[in-house]
């Protein structure tokens, strides 16, 4: 059980960009950034801002029950968003292809990433002795993003 928890942490870290977070610091957002967030995500709560270089900023917040990360430049332009979604929220084309191609794996997490109006899904699967992170577009074009062996 301890090994499975550790592997889940590793996979989550890879998807969340923890290597970047390790060097990012929490910061106070400028009024420009706050206005941009408020305009785009008017119901955001529990907002925290981070930056590594004071050129690009990440807002982590809640939208209802969903954790969202939004990435902005210093002028307040929204660059991309990331949110964890449930398996049921995957597009049908993605869900059916994953189930068909990997019938002996369990979906452990799903992340929706949107940049420049292109949505990409990252699906983490658990098999008997491997973890697989799949990358897919909304039409279900799957590719293996990462494969890890369980310890």
Average pLDDT, the chain: 87
Dihedral sign, Cα of residue 10, residue 15, residue 16, residue 19: positive
**108-136 pLDDT per residue, tens:** 999 999 999 999 999 999 999 999 999 99
Which pTM value belongs to this model?
Answer: 0.79
The confidence score (pLDDT) of residue 20 equals: 41
- Measured distance CA(116)–CA(133) in Å, rounded: 22
Q: Where are the alpha helices (DSSP H) in the chain?
A: 2-16, 18-21, 31-40, 92-101
Confidence of residue 23 (pLDDT cuts 50, 70, 90): low
Q: In 57-73, which positions are buried (b, 16+ CB within 10 angstroms) versus exposed (e)?
A: bbbbbebeeeebbbbbe
Query: Does pLDDT of 57 surpass 80?
Result: yes
The rounded percent of the chain whose pLDDT value lies above 90 is 81
User: In 10 A of CB 16, how many CB atoms?
Assistant: 16
């Amino acid at each position: 059980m301890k090994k499975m928890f550790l592997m889940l942490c590793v996979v989550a870290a890879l998807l969340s960009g923890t290597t970047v977070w390790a060097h990012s610091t929490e910061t106070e957002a400028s009024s420009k950034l706050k206005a941009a967030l408020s305009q785009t995500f008017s119901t955001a709560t529990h907002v925290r801002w981070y930056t590594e270089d004071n050129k690009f900023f990440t807002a982590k917040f809640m939208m209802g029950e969903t954790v969202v990360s939004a990435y902005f430049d210093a002028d307040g332009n929204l660059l991309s968003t990331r949110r964890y979604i449930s398996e049921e929220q995957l597009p049908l084309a993605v869900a059916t292809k994953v189930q068909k191609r990997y019938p002996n794996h369990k979906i452990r997490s799903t992340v929706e990433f949107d940049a420049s109006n292109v949505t990409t899904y990252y699906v983490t699967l658990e098999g008997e002795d491997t973890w697989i992170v799949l990358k897919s577009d909304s039409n279900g074009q799957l590719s293996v993003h990462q494969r890890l062996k369980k310890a």
